[in-house]
Amino acid sequence: MRELRIKSRRVIKNTFLVSSIQLIFNQIKFNNMKNIPLALVALFLFVGITGCKKASEIPATCTNLVKDSDETEIDCGGSCTACASAATLTCTLDGTAYNGISASTYGQILGTSIRLFSNDVNSQSMKIVFVPGILNQTTFISDADFLYAGESYTMDPANPGTIQITAQDTLRKMISGNFAFDARRITNPTIKSANNGVFTNVRYH
């Protein structure tokens, strides 16, 4: 409904602009100079008013750094601009593609650490724990594990994987980055690798 109102205003504005320009052109064409100033004043007033209106369409609640009104996250969604896209977590797990479900990909704050959790369509879960570092700087993963083909695999602390944070919004608590680690099967020494891991816009609380 809001988009329809905005489109209607744009149509009215464009129609008025075309009519005003055509009126000025006709006055010049027929050498009727006395009506040109009036047409110009009307044109400038209309542009000024509609320009101010466009700026005022953004509610003050969209810039107050608080989740309120009809926002879905802090200062975004509802009457504000759209929020960031849904969370993703993907990697190559033992040579096969792992794609976490957005609704099942989230983060938790554990003291100074963040734990990422994801689940794919085959109910294969993945967990990664790390301490956020400087952006684009590679650091070690504190703990990680995943479920693959019905078996549990866990990272050997003596051989930690790596993680790199590429973006972090501390206000909305949202983080993106990449990772890689090896994990050992709990029941025997089989090792599986999680490579080319990428997570984006993961919300953590």
Which pLDDT value is given to residue 58?
82
pLDDT digits (tens, 9 = 90+) for 19-41: 544 644 455 455 555 555 544 44
pLDDT digits (tens, 9 = 90+) for 62-85: 999 999 999 999 999 999 999 999
pLDDT of residue 41: 42
Q: Which of 185, 176, 181, 164 is nearest to 204 (CA)?
A: 176
Query: Would you list the DSSP string of 79-98?
Result: TSPPPPPPPEEEEEETTEEE
pLDDT in the model for residue 52: 47
Per-residue burial over 48-73, b = 16 or more CB atoms within 10 Å of its CB, e = otherwise: eeeeeeeeeeebebbeeeeeeeebeb
52 sits in which H/E element: helix 36-56
Q: Distance between CA atoms of 32 and 36, rounded to whole angstroms?
A: 8
Q: Which residue ranges make up each domain of the chain?
A: 2-57, 88-203
Using CA atoms, how far apart are residues 204 and 172, in angstroms rounded to an integer?
A: 9
